[in-house]
Amino acid sequence: MEIDRQLLREMYYHMRRIRRFEETAEELYKRGTVVGLLHLYIGEEAVATGVCLALRDDDYITSTHRGHGHLLAKGGDPKRLLAELCGRVGGYCRGKGGSMHAADLSLGILGANGVVGGGFGIATGAALSAKMRRSGQVVACFFGDGAANQGLFMEVLNMAAIWKLPVIYVCENNGFGQYTRYEEATVTDQPIGARAAAFGLPTAQVDGNDVIAVYQAAIQAVQSARAGEGPSFIEARTYRLRGHHMGDVGFARRYRTKEELEEHLKQEPVGRFHRWLLEQQLLTEAEIEELEARIETELQEAIEFVNSSPVPDVSEIMEHIYA
């Protein structure tokens, strides 16, 4: 598959932007500006980027509690996302949803979710809807290795398969569900994809820290969904570089060693892509610097936006319960 420079640039831009967004959120959380639960996507940027860049603008995604990367890669606005994390009226949900419920319906971002596996039904239903409306839209359903143990996953696999729905199940296997290791909670003599294969879905297992690999798997799945051939499954193997959420630092040493973490830091996707782009002379240092500068400006603007956006007035509480 030919990947042009423009696309590589975009990939780098998105990965780097997600990384920097998360670092900014982390920083603001420590300062108390970000409120509520915060699950960082650091280390997993290649997955959201590779998948979302394979989608059309009007395609849908469903996301998770660790969802900033998905939203940003699908074109979401860092200003409104950051404001949401900080509980401001300028946020995507006017501060009512926070990190775990950020959504941009106008961009097909059907929402993060606080329930592990909560997006399976929504994604599959959106695919049914797309098929019924003959819109040609495709749905990418992001979920974690932990979520793969929710029974709902298998229920929707069956329905997506029998009705040939245009949905792609993207399992982000980052090694952990909270503080329990993937290998402890999940059968491992078969990959997670075996579950999808049991329903006849084409499955792929890719290096989730390799954005190109993710992208290529996604493109194939999208094409087949768009062509009416039904659902696919992708497992992206990656690694969670931060804690489960901000504020659980006390747990850090309980579930992994420093050495393990350091080993994985060497493989982290943004730096790795950066090095590769330079090595392969696909982007120049100058181009990269320009992208990074653009990102810093965006994030600066986002912080300013947050600062200018007030916390909602208590009178808003009873709004938006019913449409």
Ligand X SMILES: Cc1ncc(C[n+]2csc(CCOP(=O)(O)OP(=O)(O)O)c2C)c(N)n1
Binding site for Mg ion (CB under 5 A): 144-146, 174, 176-177
Nearest approach, Cβ of 115 to a copy of itself (angstroms)?
14
Restricted to residues 177-196, the positions that interact with a copy of itself (CB under 8 A) are: 184-187, 189-190, 194-195
Q: How many CA atoms lie within 13 A of 203 on its CB side?
A: 18
Among residues 95, 146, 166, 193, the one that binds ligand X under rule CB under 6 A: 146
- Tell me whether residue 46 or residue 128 sits nearer to other proteins (CB atom): 128
Nearest approach, Cβ of 247 to other proteins (angstroms)?
10
Backbone CA torsion sign across 149, 139, 23, 273: positive
Strand partners, 161: none
Distance of alpha carbon 313 from alpha carbon 66, whole angstroms: 27
For the sheet with 232-237, list strands across it.
60-62, 139-144, 167-173, 232-237, 203-207
Torsion, Cα of 64, 70, 74, 76 (10° steps): 80
Restricted to residues 122-151, the positions that interact with a copy of itself (CB under 8 A) are: 149-151
- Tell me whether residue 144 or residue 191 sits nearer to ligand X (CB atom): 144
Q: How many CA atoms lie within 13 A of 165 on its CB side?
A: 30
- Tell me whether residue 16 or residue 74 sits nearer to other proteins (CB atom): 74
- Per CB under 6 A, does 114 bind ligand X? yes
Restricted to residues 216-275, the positions that interact with ligand X (CB under 6 A) are: 240, 244
CA 254 from chain center: how many Å?
A: 26
- Per CB under 6 A, does 66 bind ligand X? yes
- Tell me whether residue 26 or residue 290 sits nearer to ligand X (CB atom): 26
Distance of alpha carbon 213 from alpha carbon 47, whole angstroms: 9
Distance of alpha carbon 15 from alpha carbon 206, whole angstroms: 17
Among residues 197, 261, 288, 311, the one that binds a copy of itself under rule CB under 8 A: 197
* Chain contacts with a copy of itself (rule: CB under 8 A): 149-155, 158, 161-162, 184-187, 189-190, 194-195, 197-200
